[in-house]
Amino acid sequence: MQYTTLGRTGLRASVAGLGCGGNSRIGQGSGLSEAQSVALVREALELGVNFIDTAEAYGTEHIVGQAITAVPRDEVVVSTKCLIRSGGGLRSAADVVSALEGSLRRLRTDYVDVFHLHAVAPAAYEHALSELAPALLREREKGKLRHLGVTETGPNDPRQEMLQRAVHDSCWEVMMLAYSMMNQGARRKVFPHTRRNGIGTLLMFVVRNIFSVPALLARTVKELADAGKVPSSLGDLQAPLDFLVHEGGASSVTDAAYRFARHAPGSDVVLFGTGNRAHLRANIDSILKPPLPPADVAKLYELFGALEGVGLDLPDRMRS
C-alpha cells in the first residue's frame, strides 16, 4: 500500500480508501450478510487500506464499527458524514451534533478522524458555514472529531459552486469531491486552492456506471458528440475509451479511471466501492499502479476537459 499525508490534518492515509456507500455498500447492496461485509472490510485492512469512509445515510456505520475492532484504533482513519437536510428542511446545529453522537455509537468509537457535512448544496452552504460548522468545532474541542470536512453533491452541483466557496474558508480541513476522466472540473476550479491551502482531498465518482457499463459509455459519448461537446468521430465508436487500453497503458477502462484520478495533481485519497474480494483487490491494484502514459492523459484533457456533470449518477437505490 502507498500512503499520503491528508492535507494539513497530518493524518497518514492510504491512497486507496474504502468507500462504504454507492451501489455496493460493502456488499449490502448485493446481498452479503453483515458478517460477510465485516469480513470484506477486514480484508481491506489486511491489504493496507487504512482509510474507511462511511456515512449516516449509507447504513453501514455499524458494519464499519464491528470491522475496526480487529485493529488498534489509531491504525485506522475513520471518516463519516451527516446530511444537513432532513424532512425537506435544513438540520439545526443540535440535530447535527446528535447525528455525530449517533455515528460514534454505531462506529463503536470515542472519536472520528474526519466528520463531514454531507452533500452540501450551494444554497445550503451559508447555513453549513455559519450554523453547523461552529457547533461541530466545539465538539472537536471535546475530542469527538479530529478534523472537519465537507462533501459536495456532485449530481446537483456539477459546476462545483459550493466547493469553490468552501476552499476559501479555513474551518474545512478535508473535502470530498467528484473527479473522473470525464468530469475534470476540479482540476481547474478546486485543486489549485486545496493544494495552496493544505486541504485534504477525497475523490469520489471516480468509477461510476459510465465506466463500468460499456453500453452506457457508448450512449453517453454519442449524446455528447451529437451536442457538439466532444468530437463527432467519438460518437460512432462502440468503445470510445479503448484508446486507453494498450501495452504500456491501462488494462481496462476502469483501470484507466482509477489511475487517472490517483495521479491527478491535488488528489490525496481515491475512494472505491466493492462488494466482493476479487473486486476489492483489483481496485486496489489499479490505484497503486503508475500514472497513465502522458500522451493518454493529454488526450483525456483535450477530449473531455471542458465537460461538466458527466457520469455523476446517483446510486441506484436513490434514483426516483
In a domain, 43, yes or no: yes
- Taking the complete model, does pTM exceed 0.85, yes or no? yes
In a domain, 85, yes or no: yes
Grade residue 88 by pLDDT with cuts at 50, 70 and 90: confident
In a domain, 235, yes or no: no
User: What's phi and psi for 51, nearest 5 deg?
Assistant: -105, 115
pLDDT of residue 319: 46
Mean pLDDT of the region 24-35: 93
Cell reading at 34: 453483515
In a domain, 175, yes or no: yes
Grade residue 316 by pLDDT with cuts at 50, 70 and 90: low
Answer for the pair 254, 273: CB distance below 8 angstroms, yes or no.
no
In a domain, 8, yes or no: yes
Q: Which residue is it, cell 493496507? A: 48
pLDDT of residue 86: 85
Please, which residues have CB within 8 angstroms of residue 20's CB and are 6 or more apart in sequence?
26, 41, 52, 53, 54, 55, 58, 60, 63, 64, 273
CATH of the domain at 208: 3.20.20.100
Cell reading at 72: 488498534
Q: How many domains does the chain contain in total?
A: 1
What confidence tens digit (pLDDT) does each residue in 254-287 have? 999 999 999 999 999 999 999 999 999 999 999 9
pLDDT of residue 45: 98
117: containing domain: 3-213+264-295
In whole angstroms, what is the distance from residue 55 CA to residue 28 CA?
Answer: 14
pLDDT of residue 22: 87
In a domain, 224, yes or no: no
In a domain, 257, yes or no: no
Pick from 19, 94, 92: nearest CA to 53: 19
What confidence tens digit (pLDDT) does each residue in 39-52 have? 999 999 999 999 99
Instruction: State the SS3 of 53-75.
Output: ECCHHHCCHHHHHHHHHHCCHHH
In a domain, 195, yes or no: yes
In the chain, pLDDT over 70 holds for what percent of residues?
Answer: 98
Please, which residues have CB within 8 angstroms of residue 3's CB and are 6 or more apart in sequence?
12, 13, 14, 15, 50
